[in-house]
Structure 1
Amino acid sequence: MKMLTVSSGWRCVPAGLAALLMLFSMALQPPAWGQDAPAAAATTEAPATAAETPAAETPPPPAPLTTAEIKVMLDTVWVLITGMLVFFMNLGFAAIESGMCRAKNCVNILSKNFIVFAVSTIAFWAIGWGLMFGNDKPEEGKSDGGWYGKAGLLFVQGADNSPATGDGYKGDYASIGWTGVPLNAKFFFQLVFAGTAATIVSGAVAERIKYHTFIVFSFLMGTLIYPIVGHWIWGGGYLASKGFFDFAGSTQVHSLGGWAALAGVIVLGPRIGKYSAEGKVQAIPGHNMSLATIGCLILWFGWFGFNPGSTMGVDPGLMSHVAVTTNTAAAFATITATATAWCLLGKPDIGMTLNGCLAGLVAITAPCAFVSIWSSVIIGSIAGVVVVIAVMSFDRIGIDDPVGATSVHLVNGVFGTLCIGLFTETSLIPAGTTLKAGLFTGGGTDQLIVQAIGVGMCFAYVFPVSLVIWFILKATMGLRVTRQEEIEGLDIGEHGNEAYPGFVMQAPSGH
């Protein structure tokens, strides 16, 4: 009986579904109200002819998109996607920095790299964007050789806040025409660059800085340091008016972050155990070179957002060219850094190999759009050699940089910026700009001099301002953890946890 009852119940399902479908179809029919009801019934019995019933008005098809509208859509998608790639580089920095440092400081380094982008976001949104891209001559509605933005300073307020949104602003690269990209797309893309500059400092001051002090410095960097130089270079300010070029940030991001990091390292001093009583350099190896290698590969991948994305618009030829020069420089720098380390250290050190790759990427960042593929070979090859020598030289003079950030970003950021004045090709100069051919490619020294002035101005502002901020923070908040905390590790002292709880390194036994 139970089975019969169940079976009978299931036989009711089709009937129920049919009833629901009928009700659903009725609900989709337009209702007949008032005087329309008899007409509806009559229609059912005797449909009217087409002549008797006026045809329903069909809405006109949407107007086809114009070429300009399609370009704005494509440009915006490109800018946002490449900006997301640059954001993803935060993971690369976190991985390579933590891998190149000791296990006892892993949580601290991961946490710093995670929180630094949040801090940079708030700082750049609140005031950094306005100082960087706000018009320095608001009465004239433009930026023209000034020192900082003055209009619409707070919270990315509107069109007058960005000369890039005005019809009269064409940026450094007039032929690209990126003025059509929405303000929020520009803001997001510039924000991830500002965050990258702050992460450079993180690695250089690792393993001995107080967590809360680093957070405060990162905020000040996003409000007082990065945006001011950014206005000079990318906001229509002084250096832009003099013909200085930096396509994707060898100076604006990398050497700027490097100068701030160098100031911090000097004020902090070296880690305990880095130098013997006699002053001899003692290696402090990283705890996880697998993690460091993964981080470097992520950064290499993210750089295809960093450099090609800086076209700020869809230009197939330019995007492709930048991608190839970027990759070529990284590849050759990887090889030359490995070979240089092999010759000088007797072994192909993996840390030098990874930093060589990053050095090539940093060096090609400024000139990537303006130099030939063969020039990118030369630039990358030199960068790989320079970074190894720089790491060893900084160690010898007492500059303890655990991850080589100053050698990678500062030294090669300067070198890459000068490469615009050395290797710029006439055929690659954007239309409507004042960029001149390089010294080695048929031009004179004019562009090289302008690039050198830009490098000097970045140093003259960033290094002393950073130095003052570090000293003020040291006097007010404290800069370095206690000796005991440094010996035990910042993970326990600063965060109260460990990256590898329960894991104990065993010394090799037997031999």
Structure 2
Amino acid sequence: MELLTTNNVWMMVCTALVFFMHLGFAFLEIGLTRQKNTINILFKNIFIITVGLLLYCLVGFNLMYPGFAEGSSGIFGFAGFGLDSPLTAEGALDLTYNEGYTYWTDFLFQGMFAATAATIVSGAVAERMKIVPFMIFTIVYVGFVYPIAGSWKWGGGFLDTLETPFYDFAGSSLVHSVGGWAALVAVWLLGSRIGKFKDGKPQAIPGHNIPLATAGVIILWLGWFGFNGGSVLSADPSLTSLTLVTTCLAAAAGGVVAMLVSTVMFKNLDLTMFLNGILGGLVGITAGADQMSPTDAILIGAIAGAIIVFAVSFIDKIKLDDPVGAIAVHLICGIWGTLAVGIFGALAGMDQFISQLTGVGAYAVFCIVTSFIIIFALKKTMGIRVSEKEELEGLDGHEHGMDAYPDFRMNEH
């Protein structure tokens, strides 16, 4: 009982840290975009958290953990609507659910992860997507697509039953690439912001509050202590400590290498590239944080940092407009982190690498197809792009009727 209490308290602390990450995402997104769209971005982020938790309660949790029957395909299952109260016949809380945490903690921890996938898309489509279509997309993607994808590994589905099981410790693929693939499709179907490309060349559209974006990245780094630390699913001192060390080292290496590579390429010390390098390192280590040595973690983070710089440049080159670098950070570094499990650490080997590649391919196909169907249907029925006037004047006034930074003047006496 005492061990369960200790483990459960740690898991609840990690749940709170993952919840806190949503503030980090909000700060990062509004900091890297223009002032006139701040309310719009904050509204989307709050909508994702609130509706995401309700949907995860109603259908998502039981889609993600359906209890696949022996001999099933391991692709789709559903354990029923709502949450079941895990009580014994005497009415006491059933302590046999899991030695690491209670049923309720399990739901809440996993629910925090679910909302993250749509938050990734929010940043990529910032400043030009209509709010209502985005809300509809969030409902379908968080409510159904994410939990089905998650069930393939974390719910004991077909990727978990391969001869060499696919491995994704905390979600480089299951969370980050699931959001990243949808972001890629959404950005392609939406088109770029007005003024982003001139004569085929990308133009900088500076964010309005870089200090806030920096605060967002620091908050996200802190939140990753819960994201990866909680994925140990207990308070095991050795494994939890190792996971936090590898997480931090990868983040640090990602930031430093992104800073160095971007300085060589662009001849300036770009803070935003530095920040995205940190996030790239965090995403990269997430799939195998519990399997890596400190040296492995530094190498994975360093490679992720370099990938960020080249990925951001490549995305600009193919004329995709991603205001916050979400595709580079969450999709491309998510793929890298997933494959890195087969290259570094305790699981390294060709069989594991092939399983990791299988998982990457499965999530790519599923997420591209589902997100395309959802967003393309919305585009053809209600439209997904705001008008030119609305985009130029800002979404805050047109879609929300308010300003994030109203002018306050002292009354003159």
- Normalising by structure 2, we get a TM-score of 0.94
1:380 aligns with 2:301: yes
Give the CA deviation at 1:157: 2.6
Give the CA deviation at 1:502: 3.0
Distance 1:408 1:362 in 2: 7
Residue in structure 1 matching 2:258, options 337, 343, 357: 337
Give the CA deviation at 1:224: 2.0
Counterpart of 1:155, as a letter, is: G
Is the 1:204–1:403 contact (alpha carbons within 8 Å) kept by the matching residues of 2? yes
Residue in structure 1 matching 2:239, options 308, 318, 329: 318
Is the 1:145–1:241 contact (alpha carbons within 8 Å) kept by the matching residues of 2? no
Distance 2:330 2:50 in 1: 22
Give the CA deviation at 1:215: 1.0
Give the CA deviation at 1:149: 2.3
Aligned partner of 1:34 in structure 2 is none
Identify the structure with bigger relative contact order (alpha carbons < 8 Å, sequence gap 6+): 2
Counterpart of 1:132, as a letter, is: M
Residue in structure 2 matching 1:222, options 113, 119, 142: 142
Counterpart of 2:205, as a letter, is: I
Aligned partner of 1:237 in structure 2 is 157
Secondary structure class of the residue paired with 1:421: coil
Distance 2:288 2:38 in 1: 35
Aligned partner of 1:75 in structure 2 is 7
Aligned partner of 1:157 in structure 2 is 84
Aligned partner of 1:191 in structure 2 is 111
Residue in structure 2 matching 1:477, options 378, 382, 385: 382
1:206 aligns with 2:144: no
Q: What residue ranges of structure 2 are gaps of 5+ in the alignment?
A: 88-93, 409-413
Distance 1:493 1:227 in 2: 34
1:462 aligns with 2:341: no
User: For residues 351-377 of structure 1, what are the alpha-carbon distances to aligned partners after superposition, in whole Å with 9 as ceiling and x for unaligned?
Assistant: 101100000000000110001110001
Give the CA deviation at 1:424: 2.2
Residue in structure 1 matching 2:184, options 248, 262, 280: 262
Give the CA deviation at 1:144: 6.4
Secondary structure class of the residue paired with 1:283: coil
Distance 2:150 2:118 in 1: 14
Aligned partner of 2:171 in structure 1 is 249
Is the 2:173–2:338 contact (alpha carbons within 8 Å) kept by the matching residues of 1? yes
User: For residues 229-261 of structure 1, what are the alpha-carbon distances to aligned partners after superposition, in whole Å with 9 as ceiling and x for unaligned?
Assistant: 100010000001110110000000001100011
Aligned partner of 1:351 in structure 2 is 272
Distance 2:221 2:54 in 1: 27
Distance 1:121 1:241 in 2: 28
Counterpart of 2:188, as a letter, is: I
Distance 2:328 2:407 in 1: 35
Aligned partner of 1:133 in structure 2 is 65
User: For residues 206-228 of structure 1, what are the alpha-carbon distances to aligned partners after superposition, in whole Å with 9 as ceiling and x for unaligned?
Assistant: 00011111111111111221011
Distance 1:179 1:115 in 2: 33
Aligned partner of 2:202 in structure 1 is 281
Aligned partner of 2:91 in structure 1 is none
User: For residues 64-121 of structure 1, what are the alpha-carbon distances to aligned partners after superposition, in whole Å with 9 as ceiling and x for unaligned?
Assistant: xxxxx11111111111110110000000000000000011111111111122101111
Aligned partner of 2:411 in structure 1 is none
Is the 1:145–1:239 contact (alpha carbons within 8 Å) kept by the matching residues of 2? no
Aligned partner of 2:39 in structure 1 is 107
Is the 1:145–1:236 contact (alpha carbons within 8 Å) kept by the matching residues of 2? no
Counterpart of 2:336, as a letter, is: F
Distance 1:196 1:422 in 2: 27
Matched positions, count: 400
Matches within 5 A, 1:291-306: 291-306=212-227
Aligned partner of 1:64 in structure 2 is none
Is the 2:177–2:335 contact (alpha carbons within 8 Å) kept by the matching residues of 1? yes
Distance 1:347 1:313 in 2: 44
Identity across matched positions, percent: 47
Distance 1:181 1:108 in 2: 37
Give the CA deviation at 1:159: 5.5
Residue in structure 2 matching 1:390, options 296, 304, 311: 311
Secondary structure class of the residue paired with 2:152: helix
Give the CA deviation at 1:196: 1.1
Distance 2:95 2:3 in 1: 18
Aligned partner of 2:334 in structure 1 is 413
Secondary structure class of the residue paired with 1:233: coil
- Normalising by structure 1, we get a TM-score of 0.76
Distance 1:217 1:166, change over 3 A: farther
Distance 1:128 1:222 in 2: 8
Counterpart of 1:373, as a letter, is: P
Which portions of structure 1, spanning 4 or more consecutive aligned residues, are displaced by more than 3 angstroms?
none
Distance 1:395 1:495, change over 3 A: same
Secondary structure class of the residue paired with 1:157: coil
Residue in structure 2 matching 1:87, options 1, 10, 19: 19
Secondary structure class of the residue paired with 2:208: coil
Distance 2:51 2:191 in 1: 25
Query: Looking at CA atoms only, which structure, 1 or 2, has the larger radius of gyration?
Result: 1
Counterpart of 2:177, as a letter, is: S
Is the 2:100–2:234 contact (alpha carbons within 8 Å) kept by the matching residues of 1? no
Counterpart of 1:202, as a letter, is: S
